A = this chain, B = another copy of it.
Amino acid sequence: MALRLAHEILTLQTAHPFTIARGSQSEYRVVWVRLRDGDGLEGWGEADPSWYYGETAETVTAALDRLAPALPDDPFALEEADAAMALVLRGNASARMAVSAALHDLAGKRLGVPLWRWWGLDPARAPRTSFTIGLDTPEIVRAKVREAAAYPILKIKVGTAGDEAILRAVRETTDRPLRVDANGGWTAKQAVARLPLLEEVGVELIEQPVAPDDLDGLAMVRRAARVPVIADESCRTAADIPRLAGVVDGISIKLAKCGSLREALRMVAVARAHHLAVMVGCMIETSLGITAAAHLTPLLDFVDLDGAALLARDPFRGATIEGGRLSLPTGPGLGVTAR
């Protein structure tokens, strides 16, 4: 019997307006996908559309209506489902990802094991997650850093003329490890010029310093930097990874970019074959989306899965964060429940 797909747009509020090099926002619309089989068992997934990748909640729901008839009847036919969806509709990665997550959730529930166990992973291996401090005035950044006292690693959004003031404000407030994410906001020359400052305040990782297509710029920053340079916007799927080898030290997976949990696993394999570090990042999303990504973390080096922690109210319960440690659910499938 065919799987039935239902979707619902959820409007999320962040506790604070969230600003990165590309803009500011405090309301986020995501899509909750439910797949129901003939026995009434449900698998859930979340689409976190990003205008940057050409998606909105409305393109997601339209894409889902197009994808639904292409789905196999059997939630275990995961390879076939990905292939069928790719044939029906290109792009729309977050919509396809929501279906992929829902299929894994449903099949995992039938197997009676959590996804990490299905994948042969040890949840104790999950690295600690960082917490992200968006762009803001030095005063507000200081307040946010104090508010984030429970998180042992901070990721600071940079990429504007205010970088120095922000980084000094953060370092005056805390001695925790710092990572920076420019979201492509620097030129290569600007990035290299900022390296002494980044070293002075003790930044341990630099994410996407320059524009996604500027591979020469990435390589230039990497040669000059003493800490790992990670590609995020430059790397959407596994096929992007070979050209990044020798250019950066690692890549960042985001489920909303790669379009399927199987593709995320393939990205880990390809990155490892090229001796690259692997990070997972997220969008502003609920614990449903975060938990799907959290199941991958035992395979990874760096984790930034604070998306649900930035919310004023999270409609789901799944992976939890305690002192930066991710605790993966023990329930079957994704292990996520409604709050």
**Residues on A facing B (Cβ under 8 Å):** 76-80, 107, 111-113, 117-122, 125, 238-239, 241-242, 245, 262, 265-266, 269-270, 272-275, 298-299
Contact = CB atoms under 8 A, between A and B. Distances in A.
B266 A121 contact: no
Contacts of A262: 120
A238 B275 CA distance: 11
15 contacts: A76-B113, A78-B120, A79-B298, A111-B112, A111-B118, A238-B269, A238-B273, A239-B272, A239-B273, A239-B275, A242-B242, A242-B273, A266-B272, A269-B270, A270-B273
A126 to B, nearest CB: 12
Contacts of A119: 79
B122 A273 contact: no
Contact of A238 (B117, B239, B241, B272): B272
A120 B274 CA distance: 26
A270 to B, nearest CB: 4
* Chain A, interface SS category: helix
- Which of A245, A273, A274 has the most chain B CB atoms inside 10 A of its CB? A273
A77 B120 contact: yes
A120 B119 CA distance: 11
Contacts of A122: 77, 79-80
Q: Which of A80, A122, A265, A269 has the most CB of B within 10 A?
A: A269
Contacts of A118: 111, 118
A265 B119 CA distance: 12
Given A241-B273, A273-B241, A76 B265 contact: no
B79 A274 contact: no
A118 B76 CA distance: 7
A143 B79 CA distance: 41
Contacts of A239: 272-273, 275
Given A76-B120, A79-B125, A118-B118, 13 more contacts: A77-B120, A78-B120, A78-B121, A80-B125, A111-B118, A238-B273, A239-B275, A242-B245, A242-B273, A266-B269, A266-B273, A269-B269, A270-B273
A270 B113 CA distance: 28
Nearest to A80: B122
Nearest to A237: B273
A45 B238 CA distance: 31
Contact of A120 (B79, B112, B241): B79
Contacts of A273: 238-239, 241-242, 266, 270
Contacts of A274: 242
B299 A79 contact: yes
Contacts of A111: 111-113, 118
A292 to B, nearest CB: 15
Nearest to A298: B79
